[in-house]
Structure 1
Amino acid sequence: RLDSVSFFRSEVRLCQSLRASLKSVADMPRALSRLALNRGGPRDLGALRAGFEAARAIAELFAAAALPAELAAALAAIKALPEALAGHLSEALDDELPLIKRDGGFVRTGYHAELDEMRALRDESRKVIAGLERSLIEETGIRSLKIRHNNVLGYYIEVTANHHSIMTGSDGAKARFIHRQTMANAMRFTTTELAELESKIANAADRALSIELAAFDRLTAEVVGEADSIRAGAEALAALDVSAALALLSESEGWCRPTVDASLAFEIVGGRHPVVEQALRRSGEGPFVANDCDLSPESGAKAGAIWLLTGPNMGGKSTFLRQNALIAILAQTGSFVPAQSAHIGVVDRLFSRVGASDDLARGRSTFMVEMVETAAILNQAGERALVILDEIGRGTATFDGLSIAWAAVEYLHEKNRCRAIFATHFHEMTALAGKLPRLHNVTMRVKEWEGDVVFLHEVGKGAADRSYGVQVARLAGLPEAVVARAREVLHQLEEGEVSGKTNRLVDDLPLFSVAVKREAPKPVKSDALGEALVAINPDEMTPREALEALYRLKGLASR
């Protein structure tokens, strides 16, 4: 697949022509299944016809190309599609097809002579009767001869009484014209031909539909008889489609060709999340920050590494977890990947425990669901697995959660021995890096500026000492009094002033604290540059004064 994608990246015009041809191809396997189960309609046959026509055009496109193995096999399967069936469908099916076969009208004019006749009788019966009338006038020479119709006699031939001798004057005329009724001034006759025509007109619609249904059944039987070759051809078209699509995507997004082998390597340089990157580009929020990830075994080691990822809320931990899992999946589907380079040893299973959700229908809390999923990972992950775990243990008491997360990391390291990224807010776990040789601490970097936190979204070696939850809460819009009180409580907890009990905190409950202290206004930062800019009235300034003011503003900005 990677060779196929590379081929289409180098053959841009061929790739574009292929994409244009594939646009007319419907879902051939679905149409084939519906027809095989006797649930199909004319449009399913039409879908196969369109697929055959596109396959013929695609085979001509690749006739002179030197193709990689996957594309060469696909082209062989396309050429093996039944040409006789394709020609039969094109010959038999009309351009516009109804949804249901009982509606009729899907067989092409000229395909079946009797069907064309029945349709003519059904749709143009007056013209047929007029034509027969003209032929009888020429045969008898009676210019006043008329073919009429009533509910009693049906269709009949009417002549005036003066011409009855022509109709009955000989044995041949009597045998040809059968007398039906004598009137005062006219006589009425019929013929075997007219009687047959009347019956055909009456039954033309039913007969036309039965002919079309029989044709549909024959075509369906032919299609089912060629089911294996059609299915193989459809899979070949799908292989061409996915390879061409991945080539266009990788070219437009700047993806690289990964190296996929039988090792335990997992080295991503400049990896990006494909979905988040596009979302940022569309919203104009700036470029995506690429990050490296190396879970490859160290020299002499027989198992991959585990990264313990710490960092603030909103720092990008979950995005980093997901992007590496997506890169592994993309690489093993044969796609180029969103990175500068990638070397991935085959991953036999990918385990993910990200996000929070409950299962009320089964009586499972959020924490219970988290534990069930974690148990499945720890019981099934092997050395070739890739595991991403996000904040295990956050749904219960702090020490319980820390204990579970601590034990889970040790189990992954000693028992599962797999490549893994473990994101957590339990900073105490970073001490494990000194105990477990394959465990490495990494963190999402941030900067603090004037009491606010700036997320750099960069992954670097080391461990975070804070989660910046209060700052994130402030960014989310929590009332300033709540944020201020949270800072006080956090400071007391960090200083160890509350050891085991919360008496001092209860004495100053946030509820009463807010009642006593009205919400303090946000501090106004001094902005000399802004004040100077507001004081300027450009309409009253000379050019020299404007130039001097510009230099003053520049001096203020550089402070």
Structure 2
Amino acid sequence: MSDTITPMMAQYLELKDQYQDAILFYRMGDFYEMFFDDAVQAAAALDIALTKRGKHDGADIPMCGVPVHSAESYLLTLIRKGFRVAVCEQMESPAEAKKRGSKSVVKRDVVRLVTPGTLTEDSLLDARRHNYLAAIAQVRDDTAMAWVDISTGVLRVMTCPVVALAPELARLAAKEVLIADGTEDSFRSLIEDAGASLTTLGRAAFDSTSGEKRLCDLFRVGSLDAFGAFTRAEVAALAGVTEYLDITQKGQLPLLRPPVQENRAASMQIDAATRRSLELTHALSGGRAGSLLDAIDQTVTAAGARLLERRLSAPSRRLDVITARQDAVAALVDDPALTEDIRDHLRGTHDLDRALSRLALDRGGPRDMAAIRNTIEAAQRLEQTLNKAELPNLLAEAQSGLTGHDAIHDLLDAALVADPPLLARDGGFIAPGYDANLDEARKLRDEGRSVIAAMQAEFIATTGINALKIKHNNVLGYFIEVTATHADRMMTPPLSDTFIHRQTTANQVRFTTVALNEIESRILNAGSEALEIEKRLYAGLSDSILAEQAHLGLLSRALAECDLAAGLAHLARREAWVRPDIDDSRAFTIEGGRHPVVEAALMRAGQPFVANGCDLTDTPIWLLTGPNMAGKSTFLRQNALIAILAQMGAFVPATSAQIGIVSQIFSRVGASDDLARGRSTFMVEMVETAAILNQADDRALVILDEIGRGTATYDGLSIAWATLEHLHDVNRCRALFATHYHEMSSLSAKLAGVDNATVSVKEWDGDVIFLHEVKKGTADRSYGVQVARLAGLPPAVVARAKVVLEALEKGEREGGGARKAVIDDLPLFAAIPPAPTPARPATSQVEDRLRAILPDELTARDALALIYDLKTMLTPDAD
């Protein structure tokens, strides 16, 4: 094969040169093809065959491809594996290319750059979660972050010091983060820790001056002051986001809402380690299942689910906001019939935000338009239902957003069929009667013969020639045919003015008319004409919808607000949750508190959850002791989760709760290492503890579990001791501190704000029984050996552990040199004779008789006789 580069391959290389950091999906007919290194990487990532096409520099050109109709699934796989994909489409048909010359290559161009933060297709997204693209910008000493979800149009920005970037990225779970060239060293670590893809842009993209003008043009305003008083750093971050969208979408910008400025002080601060520990939106095992979000999500719409995640990820610190949300939930808790009516209406709605976004990016279709129409209809029914009830402010505001969409609904209702196809190119989505030209084209397409028959009848009436026929052949097309005897009349005025002679045969004469020629052309082109008319109407409908996008955005937010309130009310009634009292005090009193995730798991297993109270109002720190497996970690976490639920505006799993606004929540529960950074489990523990001690304020809630366990006993005890004192004297926060260092219980006598609590257990025949009940007091020991036995350690190991434990406790009591002497006197493990296997106890007559019984074979009479026999064996006759 020739080593000469073909024109097509030259075109490929030219396009690829513009997108060196992306895999190029090069459209060739019904396939996207990849070549060279792209093909090698894609074939391995997608597990598809690697072939070859021609040669370059003496070597085979690797090639692989994926079908266009199933390309989205392959795109998703590549994106999840860290690749970016440049989608190159054919900009003309092969027939059009041939008109320019037989060797002309079909024009192609990249129409879109697909990256983790710029996905819009339903098949590539989780409908119930946002997909955020974030940008970090620095202007002198100020840092800001902007983020956008182009699938919904959400655009937010906030001033954010560098130290707070990691918690905010964890809150957003951003998929891709943009930074300026040259700042990688400053931000790479925190972006990678957040699990996001890092993308660099030229510094000019973050220029605040040119960026402000670009943003004003985008939102068609003279000044950004209409949206808020943005700092230069915030403008730079917004500019970076919009510049990147322009690059990736090739100028086809998504439908963005005006930017909203967020204030970090308005939300409870939760760092990344705490989010992982509390499993707010993701379980430690990975995925949504087992998280708090999964346990409480009763929403029935995608927009409602996304709103729930936003609220859960950033609970409010504003008392008026929390109260308004609670009022909405409470009103629906008190009216279960209204709640279910709302949920029923909402089940008929669709994801407006993403439908609008797809239409704006020209990636939508008639089905998106039908979804908007159907959603407006469901919203109208919902508004009528809400109109019958007395609503709190939040729901009343939502109700007002459900109205005012009659015009766009009527347009779509008149224009669209009930169940349109997915894509406009398929046609058949415009309703009959909406457009006369379309109806006529369809009639010609579908009923060509009847149209010709009607014209024939018209010509017969005009000429008075009953033998006149309209016929068709492949040479002449449609023509009018009469016998030779009638030809003279047809060629004599006035008929000759209409009928044009075309051909004379032996017995027949053939004519045509201008009208027949037009009909013929229209019949032959009716199918494509009908499709073109539908496409034109589709474009007009799309423009009409997008002109109403602001009002439709309000409708979407109103539906989400109703969905969230109804979902939380449904949850509260079903699980017997209560409305917490929230105030500006430092109170923290919970009675009968429960862990919502653990309780749900136990209920599925048919087991009860033991509720516990917690009162940090007068003594803000509890020192919690008790054995492993007793439920200390569950108790710690459940109180933090109750605070989060309360401040997001939900009811809580408790019999009552009073909570003073919590500014921050910190959790150091569980053990993990960070081998990639060379951090041991203990080092990770100390880093997270340091973050807590350096950041927690007097309104924070801190939960700590087993601080200091990763090092020597006295090292660990001293660190835990000092940490508790710092929380009490310096941070002055509310805290739950679980430990196995029982020596620390003496701190309650020295520190006024510390109280002791323990988790109850009972011993029975050498075993430990967990009661899971938290009460005031201290544990006398940790029962570690008993727990090890329950875990299945070999009996010899358990027995040895008991011996060593007794020796250590004896040495501790005797102190001094006696401690070492006791330990030195321990015999070696191998020298201990194995414990004898206990002899099987002798069985009684009753046991022997019972073992011989087969219950399934007993009749009622046999069973009664057996009872008498057993009773006789237990109580012999007096004789």
Q: TM-score if structure 2 supplies the norm length?
A: 0.58
Match of residue 326 from structure 2: 2
Match of residue 364 from structure 1: 679
| Equivalent-residue separation in structure 2 for 1:389 and 1:152 (angstroms) | 90
| Equivalent-residue separation in structure 2 for 1:122 and 1:422 (angstroms) | 78
Return the match for 1:154 from 477, 480, 483: 477
Match of residue 206 from structure 1: 528
Match of residue 396 from structure 2: 72
User: Are 1:322 and 2:637 counterparts?
Assistant: yes
User: Are 1:267 and 2:582 counterparts?
Assistant: no
User: Are 1:284 and 2:606 counterparts?
Assistant: yes
Match of residue 449 from structure 1: 764
The 1:338/1:137 distance shift into structure 2, 3 A limit, reads: same
Greater displacement, 261-270 / 112-121: 112-121
Give the aligned residue type for 1:126.
R
The 1:233/1:487 distance shift into structure 2, 3 A limit, reads: same
User: Are 1:223 and 2:223 counterparts?
Assistant: no
Return the match for 2:386 from 57, 62, 66: 62
Structure 1 gaps of 5+ residues are: 299-304, 555-559
Match of residue 557 from structure 1: none
The structure with the largest alpha-carbon Rg is: 1
The 1:117/1:493 distance shift into structure 2, 3 A limit, reads: farther
Superposed displacement of residue 103, structure 1: 2.1
Return the match for 2:374 from 50, 53, 64: 50
| Equivalent-residue separation in structure 2 for 1:235 and 1:441 (angstroms) | 47
Match of residue 82 from structure 1: 405
Greater displacement, 238-247 / 529-538: 529-538
After superposition, give the CA deviation of every residue in 1:107-127 in whole Å (9 maximum; x if it has no partner). Answer: 222111111222222233233
Contact persistence 1:93–1:106 (CA under 8 A): yes
Superposed displacement of residue 345, structure 1: 0.8
Superposed displacement of residue 173, structure 1: 2.0
* Structure 1 segment 427-466 matched on structure 2, within 5 A: 427-466=742-781
* Structure 1 segment 123-162 matched on structure 2, within 5 A: 123-162=446-485
| Equivalent-residue separation in structure 1 for 2:506 and 2:490 (angstroms) | 17
Contact persistence 1:480–1:520 (CA under 8 A): no
SS in 1 for 2:542: helix
Contact persistence 1:406–1:429 (CA under 8 A): yes
Superposed displacement of residue 520, structure 1: 5.2
Give the aligned residue type for 2:488.
S
Match of residue 309 from structure 1: 624
| Equivalent-residue separation in structure 1 for 2:680 and 2:365 (angstroms) | 48
User: Are 1:336 and 2:651 counterparts?
Assistant: yes
Q: Relative to total residues, which structure has the larger helix share, 1 or 2?
A: 1
| Equivalent-residue separation in structure 2 for 1:440 and 1:69 (angstroms) | 42
* Structure 1 segment 356-505 matched on structure 2, within 5 A: 356-496=671-811, 499=819, 504=824
Give the aligned residue type for 2:759.
M
Return the match for 1:179 from 475, 489, 501: 501
Structure 2 gaps of 5+ residues are: 1-324, 813-817
| Equivalent-residue separation in structure 2 for 1:481 and 1:43 (angstroms) | 69
Match of residue 256 from structure 2: none
Superposed displacement of residue 316, structure 1: 0.7
User: Are 1:508 and 2:828 counterparts?
Assistant: yes
Contact persistence 2:811–2:820 (CA under 8 A): no
* Structure 1 segment 11-30 matched on structure 2, within 5 A: 11-30=335-354
SS in 2 for 1:383: coil
Superposed displacement of residue 272, structure 1: 0.9
User: Are 1:239 and 2:561 counterparts?
Assistant: yes
After superposition, give the CA deviation of every residue in 1:183-215 in whole Å (9 maximum; x if it has no partner). Answer: 223232222112111222233233222322222
Root-mean-square deviation (CA), in Å?
3.0
Return the match for 1:94 from 417, 428, 440: 417
| Equivalent-residue separation in structure 2 for 1:160 and 1:400 (angstroms) | 117
Superposed displacement of residue 143, structure 1: 4.1
Superposed displacement of residue 24, structure 1: 0.7
Give the aligned residue type for 1:105.
G
The sequence identity of aligned pairs, in percent, is 55
SS in 1 for 2:390: coil
The 1:483/1:131 distance shift into structure 2, 3 A limit, reads: farther
Match of residue 302 from structure 1: none
Structure ranking higher on relative contact order (CA contacts 8 Å, 6+ apart): 1
The 1:141/1:383 distance shift into structure 2, 3 A limit, reads: same
SS in 2 for 1:24: coil
Contact persistence 1:359–1:365 (CA under 8 A): yes
The 1:450/1:61 distance shift into structure 2, 3 A limit, reads: same
Match of residue 231 from structure 2: none
Match of residue 303 from structure 2: none
| Equivalent-residue separation in structure 1 for 2:477 and 2:826 (angstroms) | 104
Give the aligned residue type for 2:415.
A
Match of residue 81 from structure 2: none
Contact persistence 1:532–1:553 (CA under 8 A): no
SS in 1 for 2:744: helix
The 1:374/1:505 distance shift into structure 2, 3 A limit, reads: farther
Greater displacement, 498-507 / 153-162: 498-507
* Structure 1 segment 242-257 matched on structure 2, within 5 A: 242-257=564-579
| Equivalent-residue separation in structure 1 for 2:755 and 2:558 (angstroms) | 45
After superposition, give the CA deviation of every residue in 1:288-336 in whole Å (9 maximum; x if it has no partner). Answer: 10100111135xxxxxx11111111111111111211111111112211
SS in 2 for 1:384: coil
Give the aligned residue type for 1:278.
A
The 1:543/1:177 distance shift into structure 2, 3 A limit, reads: closer
| Equivalent-residue separation in structure 2 for 1:502 and 1:290 (angstroms) | 43
Match of residue 297 from structure 1: 618
SS in 2 for 1:458: strand
The 1:188/1:505 distance shift into structure 2, 3 A limit, reads: farther
Superposed displacement of residue 373, structure 1: 2.3
| Equivalent-residue separation in structure 1 for 2:651 and 2:578 (angstroms) | 5
Give the aligned residue type for 1:121.
L
After superposition, give the CA deviation of every residue in 1:349-399 in whole Å (9 maximum; x if it has no partner). Answer: 222222233334444333333333222222221111111122223333333
Superposed displacement of residue 7, structure 1: 1.5
Contact persistence 2:590–2:654 (CA under 8 A): yes
Contact persistence 2:810–2:822 (CA under 8 A): no
SS in 1 for 2:402: helix
Match of residue 110 from structure 1: 433
Contact persistence 1:474–1:483 (CA under 8 A): yes
| Equivalent-residue separation in structure 1 for 2:328 and 2:759 (angstroms) | 37
Superposed displacement of residue 66, structure 1: 1.7
| Equivalent-residue separation in structure 1 for 2:482 and 2:454 (angstroms) | 17
| Equivalent-residue separation in structure 2 for 1:24 and 1:472 (angstroms) | 52
After superposition, give the CA deviation of every residue in 1:108-166 in whole Å (9 maximum; x if it has no partner). Answer: 22111111222222233233233333333343344443333333322222333333234
Task: Count the aligned residue pairs.
Answer: 542
Contact persistence 2:807–2:823 (CA under 8 A): no
| Equivalent-residue separation in structure 2 for 1:76 and 1:166 (angstroms) | 73
Superposed displacement of residue 451, structure 1: 0.9
Superposed displacement of residue 532, structure 1: 7.4
Superposed displacement of residue 73, structure 1: 1.6
Contact persistence 1:489–1:505 (CA under 8 A): no
The 1:524/1:185 distance shift into structure 2, 3 A limit, reads: farther
| Equivalent-residue separation in structure 2 for 1:150 and 1:544 (angstroms) | 101
Greater displacement, 465-474 / 237-246: 465-474
